[in-house]
Each structure stands twice: as structure tokens, then as C-alpha cells.
């Protein structure tokens, strides 16, 4: 079964690659285009690859916009599984019969997706809830498919070494870990609790809470909430107020809370009857520590003030630009990005678009954007789209200038200064205790070395110099041995020394040539892996 699955995955990969090649030389119709063909191939491969494509859709730093759009449109709606399987998973996961858990349980699913399906129910205390149940065997299926995909990726890298530049195994392992967390409903419950607590006093937002004691790895039970999707025409009359509340909520999440909803598409945003914005599905969230929030605030401020030098420093601090760079060249690229926004109406300014273009400047330096910043970029694009759905004339820049400053100030005010001072005090006491022994060791060394003082210098940039020198000398030695084997084989051929094989071919010469060819392949593979001649 595992071998058949590997062959099926390999077939779809080969089908996509050959199809692209044949389209380029006009031996296949140009429709569907490659991004659409990739989407269809992933859907044919099933749940794991649908989720894989959705995870890849956040890699705007590596994929073009047409591929991102195609992957975001992957259909995650599939036929529901039988109610008896759902009930069995619930009873196994929560450890009680369904009749003890719920006063009423609707066996007809409210919605079904590739990972789970949702049922409505009523608790014994009369509260209306929704029950999200994971498909049986899903975890094992994802693990099996990801192992097969990683194995195939290693084979492809061996055949096409330049693909190593994109670190496909690193990306696949990152996605594999994220998928494991996404399908664990205990983690989603923790995320929900965090947001419920953070927005408990907000009259403009609603987060349906988790029902305590009704959560396990495969099942999560939440309060039920109803409302209109944000793209429902009935919401439009109140769109301006809702857009303002939505932006304020996201500024608070990013700059104050340090955790944000990573998937704010219209299907996850509802407007309740009392006019509150309701967030659903907390399987994907991003986490920003305080240092990253400060750097992000600097990036936002530089963008608003159209300061290319400040924007460059902020991008380097965030880690979206780096490596060996010509600051003048990058400054010109950033100035061009800012100039493009100056010519737009204020309502069309996009911080997400600017952030994306800056990250793509770093592609040539082999800079890989941290995952949480990629999730942030996805959330920014979806959030800006949601704002424009609610209010097409919303002035995003004005809100960033006013509310953004307030959010940053609140973030600075919540800093744990007492904790910082306590740590400084502890470190100072520790250093004071360690100082006398260090002084004795230092004095003893001076006496033993006759008053001389040894100095050890560690240059960070030369940290791997010895390793590189050893590798280079080994290659040089192997190259000389290989050259000697070729010469020896030629001399043995010329003088016909030793026993013969295949008629008149000297055995010793054949052995020398074979060994030389093997050494040559070793040298070539080593150079290909390093990417340098």
C-alpha cells in the first residue's frame, strides 16, 4: 500500500512537470494553466495534499501570485463521513456515551471538510453547541503521505541539485509540523481560550468559547453562534463601523496580544445579530514576541512616513532582508515600492502588498522569512480584503496612523519592567559571586606564564574556516590521486601489463579507470552539494 501511494504521488509530480514542459513547446493546450493544473493534482491526491497546498499558499516570498491564488482556492469541502463513525470518534475521544454527553445530537452534519466535520448539538444544560470531529485515521494518513513526499523530495534533489537552494526538505518538515498541530484540536482549544480571555471586555467582538471537559485530540465542542458572513449584502449598511472595529481588533492582536488569527477569510468571519464581529476556526494562528512586534512597528511607521532608509533597517531587523547586500541597491528598490504607493489613493494603500514586495527583494540573498511572518503576511492580505469587502472606501492609512500609534503605546505600557529589573538584579548578583574565583584564576595564569597575558580571539565570520580548509584540502588530495589513477591506467593500457579481460583489455588498467571514475563522481557530487566550484 505504501509503495502504491509513493508511485501515485510520483505519477502526479511527473504529470505536472511533463505537462508544463509540453505546454512551453506548445504540444499541449495552454489551458488549464500550470497553477490550475497544480491545484487539480493536489485535489486528486486527497486530504494531505490539499492541506499541503493550503500551507504552501502562505509562501508568497517564493511563489508567484497566480500560484498563491490557485492554492488558496483549493477545495476543502468533501463528502461527509457516516454519523456512526462521528459518534464513535466522539465517544472514544471524550470517554462517555453520546447520550451522557449531549441531550440532543444532530446526526446530519452542518458542514464537512477534508480534516473534520461539524455537527450541532444541545448540552444537558440547554446550551446550543457545535461538535467538530476529526476524520478517523487522518493522522496516520498525513504521516504516511508526508514521509513519502520527503523521500521523493530527496530523490529529486539528487537528480536536480540546484533545487537544494530552496531547501524543500526544510519547508516540508515545517509544513509537516504545522499540520500535526493543526489537526490536534487540543491546541486549537488553547488558542480559542487565549483569544476569549484577551477580548472578554470588547463589546465589538465575539469569540465562541470552548466547553470545558469537551475537548480531546480528535473532538472539540464550542458554543454555537449564528450570524451573517461579512460578504453578505445585508452587512454593507453597517460596513464602515465594522471595518473600523475589525482593524482595531487586528492592531490589538498584532501589537499588544502578540497572537493573531491567521485565516480571516469571509468563511471565518460572521456578524452577529447585535452587530459584533465573530471569529471562527483558530487552527492557524501566528505568534509574535515583543521584539518582533517592535520591529514590525518600526516597519509600519517607516512605510507610513515613506522613509526608505528606515524601511531598509526595519526589514533587516525583521529578517526579511539580509546576507551580503548593496544597501544603495536595496534602498533604490524600497524607494520604488514607496513611490508606487504615493501615486495611489489612500484607500488603495496596502501594507500587505508593500511587505510582500520587500520580502521578494531578499530572494536573491537566499533569505527565508520566518514562518510567523509568513502567516502574518497571509493574514494581512486576507484582513485588507475583508476591510474592503465591508467598506470599499475605508482609509486604511489614516487608521494605521491614529490607531496604530495607540496600539504601540499600549504594547510598550504592558512591558514587564519589574521582571526586567528583577532579572538584571539576579544577573548582577550572580556576576558578583563569580568574580572572585575568576580573578584568582586570572592571577594564577599571570604567575605561571611569567607575567605574560594570553589573548584568545574568536572571529565570528571565520567560525567555519577550518572546516572549509579541511574540505578543500581533501578535495585537492583526492583530485591528485584521481589524476594519478588516470595516468596509471593509461600507462598500463599502453604497455599491456597484467592479466586481460574482454579480450585485450588489461585488468589492472580497468581497475585503475573504475576507481578514478568513482573518485571523480565523489568530487563532482561534493561540488554540486556545496554549490561552488
Strand 116-122 and strand 205-206: the pairing is: unpaired
Residue with cell 599502453: 494
C-alpha distance from residue 165 to each of 56, 170, 335, 390, 433 (Å): 17, 11, 28, 41, 48
Query: How far apart (Å, rounded) are the C-alpha atoms in residues 189 and 214?
Result: 10
Query: How far apart (Å, rounded) are the C-alpha atoms in residues 66 and 154?
Result: 27
CB 482: neighbour CB atoms within 10 A? Answer: 18
Helix (H, G, I), strand (E, B) or coil at 207: coil
Three-state secondary structure of 488-519? HHHHHHHHCCCCEECCCEEHHHHHHHHHHHHH
Query: How far apart (Å, rounded) are the C-alpha atoms in residues 246 and 205?
Result: 8
Residue of 342, 310, 312 lying closest to 327 (CA atoms) = 312
Query: How far apart (Å, rounded) are the C-alpha atoms in residues 89 and 96?
Result: 11
Backbone angles phi, psi at 277, to 5 degrees: -90, 125
C-alpha distance from residue 346 to each of 120, 171, 342, 459, 515 (Å): 44, 36, 9, 48, 69
| Whether residue 263 lies in the annotated active site | yes
| Active-site residue, from 61, 263, 281, 391 | 263
Positive or negative: CA dihedral 517, 523, 525, 531: negative
Backbone angles phi, psi at 387, to 5 degrees: -60, -45
Residues with a catalytic annotation lie at 263
Amino acid at each position: 500500500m505504501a509503495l502504491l501511494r509513493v508511485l501515485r504521488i510520483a505519477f502526479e509530480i511527473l504529470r505536472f512537470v511533463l505537462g508544463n514542459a509540453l505546454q512551453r513547446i506548445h504540444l499541449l493546450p495552454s489551458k488549464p494553466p500550470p497553477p490550475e493544473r497544480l491545484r487539480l493534482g493536489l485535489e486528486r491526491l486527497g486530504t494531505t495534499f490539499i492541506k499541503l497546498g493550503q500551507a504552501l499558499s502562505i509562501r508568497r516570498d517564493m511563489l508567484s501570485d497566480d500560484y498563491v491564488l490557485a492554492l488558496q482556492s483549493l477545495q476543502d469541502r468533501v463528502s461527509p463521513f457516516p454519523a456512526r463513525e462521528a459518534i464513535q470518534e466522539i465517544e472514544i475521544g471524550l470517554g462517555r456515551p453520546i447520550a451522557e454527553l449531549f441531550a440532543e445530537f444532530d446526526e446530519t452534519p452542518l458542514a464537512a471538510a477534508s480534516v473534520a466535520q461539524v455537527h450541532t448539538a444541545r448540552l444537558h444544560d440547554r446550551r446550543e453547541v457545535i461538535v467538530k470531529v476529526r476524520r478517523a485515521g487522518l493522522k496516520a494518513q498525513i504521516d504516511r503521505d508526508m514521509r513519502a513526499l520527503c523521500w521523493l523530495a530527496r530523490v529529486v534533489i539528487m537528480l536536480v541539485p540546484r533545487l537544494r537552494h530552496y531547501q524543500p526538505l526544510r519547508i516540508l518538515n515545517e509544513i509537516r509540523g504545522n499540520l500535526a498541530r493543526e489537526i490536534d484540536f487540543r491546541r486549537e482549544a488553547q488558542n480559542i481560550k487565549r483569544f476569549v480571555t484577551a477580548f472578554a471586555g470588547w463589546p465589538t467582538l465575539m469569540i465562541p468559547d470552548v466547553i470545558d471537559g469537551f475537548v480531546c485530540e480528535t473532538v472539540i465542542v464550542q458554543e454555537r453562534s449564528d450570524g451573517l458572513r461579512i460578504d453578505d449584502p445585508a452587512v454593507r449598511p453597517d460596513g464602515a463601523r465594522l471595518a473600523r472595529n475589525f482593524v482595531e481588533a487586528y492592531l490589538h492582536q498584532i501589537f499588544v496580544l502578540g497572537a493573531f488569527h491567521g485565516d480571516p477569510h469571509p468563511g471565518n468571519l460572521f456578524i452577529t445579530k447585535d452587530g459584533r464581529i465573530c471569529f471562527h476556526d483558530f487552527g492557524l494562528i501566528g505568534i509574535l514576541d515583543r521584539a518582533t512586534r517592535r520591529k514590525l512597528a518600526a516597519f509600519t511607521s517607516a512605510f507610513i512616513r515613506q522613509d526608505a532608509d528606515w524601511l531598509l533597517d526595519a526589514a533587516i531587523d525583521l529578517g526579511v532582508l539580509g546576507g551580503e547586500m548593496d544597501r544603495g541597491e536595496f534602498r533604490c528598490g524600497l524607494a520604488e515600492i514607496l513611490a508606487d504607493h504615493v501615486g495611489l489613493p489612500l484607500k488603495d494603500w496596502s501594507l500587505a502588498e508593500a511587505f510582500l514586495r520587500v520580502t521578494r527583494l531578499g530572494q536573491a540573498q537566499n533569505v527565508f522569512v520566518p514562518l510567523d511572518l509568513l502567516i502574518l503576511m497571509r493574514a494581512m492580505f486576507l484582513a485588507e480584503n475583508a476591510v474592503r469587502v465591508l467598506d470599499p472606501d475605508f482609509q486604511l492609512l489614516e487608521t494605521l496612523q491614529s490607531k496604530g500609534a495607540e496600539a504601540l503605546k499600549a504594547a510598550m505600557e504592558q512591558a514587564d519592567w519589574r521582571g526586567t529589573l528583577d532579572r538584571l538584579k539576579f544577573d548582577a548578583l550572580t556576576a558578583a559571586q563569580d568574580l572572585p574565583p575568576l580573578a584568582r584564576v586570572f592571577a594564577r595564569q599571570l604567575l605561571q606564564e611569567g607575567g605574560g597575558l594570553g589573548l584568545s580571539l574568536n572571529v565570528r565570520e571565520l567560525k567555519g574556516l577550518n572546516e572549509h580548509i579541511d574540505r578543500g584540502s581533501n578535495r585537492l588530495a583526492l583530485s591528485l590521486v584521481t589524476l594519478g589513477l588516470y595516468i596509471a591506467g593509461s600507462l598500463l593500457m599502453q604497455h599491456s601489463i597484467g592479466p586481460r579481460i574482454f579480450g585485450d583489455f588489461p585488468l589492472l588498467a580497468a581497475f585503475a579507470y573504475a576507481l578514478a571514475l568513482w573518485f571523480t563522481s565523489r568530487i563532482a557530487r561534493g561540488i554540486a552539494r556545496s554549490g561552488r566550484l
